[in-house]
Structures are given as C-alpha cells and as structure tokens.
A and B are shown apart, each in its own frame.
Chain A
C-alpha cells in the first residue's frame, strides 16, 4: 500500500513557465512533508519542506502548498529553468520519530 503517491511519472514544461508537481498521501499521521530533487546516479537533494500546521511555504522559486483536508501537496517552480530538469520526490515523516516515506517520483523536463 503506497502511502505517498505521485501519480504523474513525468511532466514537460517550457522554460520560464510554471512547473506544478503533485503529491497525494493517505496516512493522516504524516505531519511533515518534503520535496527532493534527484539527478541520475546522485543522492536526493533537499529542496523545501512544510509542516502540517502550515498550508504554504516559499523559498525563492519554490513554493510548496499543503491541503490537509484533501491530503494533497504540490510543489510550484516558477519560473522553470532547464537546470530544474530532474526527478522530484515527495516524501513524508510521520508523527514522532519515524522514517521517511517516499513517492515514486516525477521526472520534470524543462525545455528551452
């Protein structure tokens, strides 16, 4: 049973436009959510996180939105740049100390 779901395996966006990456979760005990960017043959790089007590967190070009009632979060990248092309993973921590649960990732391709 997949508790963190990224239903779009890939997304193509033109440079300068907005990229919206979506993530759904089923476990209501998750209280902290993170987005990672990953290039092939490298470890994931932490991008941005959000606590379940917030509905928005912004850091530069990256904004994460959380809709707890819908158990949905999204990562907005604006403006998108070709260097943003990578696989993006949504991940979540449960309440208390626990391991990180990952989605399967969405490959973002930003074309010039």
Chain B
C-alpha cells in the first residue's frame, strides 16, 4: 500500500527551541498533506492542511506562527514547532490522501512523539 514516512519518530528538545518534523510520501505525489495532533486518550485532532506551493490552512485555535508548515515539493511537507514549550509535548502525525481505483483513503506517517523539557 501507499507509504507515508515521518521523521523523527521521537524527539526531546529544550524549552524555547524549535523542532522540525518531516512527512514524506514515498511512492506517490501528494499535493495536500495533513497534520494532526493527538493528546493522551483523545482522538486525532486536525491542526492544518498543507498545500504544495501555497500557504497552509490552519484549523481554528491553531497558531500558525507557532506551527510553521512548509510543503515545498509534491512529496514533502514539514511542520516546525517554534519556541517549543512543555505544553507542546504531544504526538504529531501527518497524512496524505490517495485514491486507488475510486477508493479514497488517508495514509498516515508513523507519528512523532515530541517531548519539550
């Protein structure tokens, strides 16, 4: 099946620093990718839609200056958590949609566990 690769899988950073998370579609092109965040014991929460070659669309309540998204190519989107604080510690997941023979599905990266200390 389609593969979406996310890197790194785990990162620990100091408060005030920035962290970049990469999301790659390995065997298909994705003009749109999605970034989610999951809090403990909660469902995935959509943060933003990453659009290749244009600005990302952020969901209500998500700070665009804090969560910078860059979708520079058809296979790569990056999420940068700027000036990270402990409350940004979470599990971040990206996805890309693919339609195969009329069947649409979202394929997810492995996720990134961010811990801000």
Contact B113 A41 (CB under 8 A): yes
Asked whether any CB of chain B lies closer than 8 Å to the CB of A102, the reply is: yes
Residues of chain A lying within 8 A (CB to CB) of residue B113: 41
Among A14-22, A42-50, A60-68, A75-83, the stretch that binds chain B is: A42-50
B91 and A49 contacting across the interface, CB-CB below 8 Å: no
- Residues of chain B within 8 A (CB-CB) of A34 are 105-106
User: Known: A43-B111, A99-B34. Contact between A49 and B42, CB under 8 A?
Assistant: no
A34→B113 CA distance, assembly (Å): 25
Q: Smallest CB-CB separation from A101: which chain B residue?
A: B46
Taking the complex as formed, is A29 at the interface, i.e. its CB lies under 8 A from any CB of chain B?
no
> Could you give, for residues 81-114 of chain B, a 1 whenever the CB lies within 8 Å of some chain A CB and a 0 otherwise?
0000000000101010000000111111111010
Return the CB mask of B19-57 against A: 1 if under 8 Å, else 0: 000000000000000100000001110100100000000
Q: Let me know if A99 and B111 touch, CB within 8 A.
A: no
Determine which of A41, A43, A103 lies in contact with B109 in the assembled complex, contact meaning CB atoms within 8 Å. A43
In the assembled complex, the Cα of A32 lies from the Cα of B93 at a distance in Å of 21
The answer to the question of A89 belonging to the interface, with a C-beta cut-off of 8 Å to chain B, is: yes
Q: Which of A24-66 contact B (CB under 8 A)?
A: 32, 34, 36, 41-46, 49, 51
Give residues in B with beta carbon < 8 Å to A. Answer: 1, 4, 6, 34, 42-44, 46, 49, 91, 93, 95, 103-111, 113
11 A-B residue pairings within 8 Å (CB atoms)? A32-B104, A36-B108, A43-B110, A44-B108, A46-B105, A49-B103, A49-B105, A100-B34, A100-B46, A100-B95, A102-B44
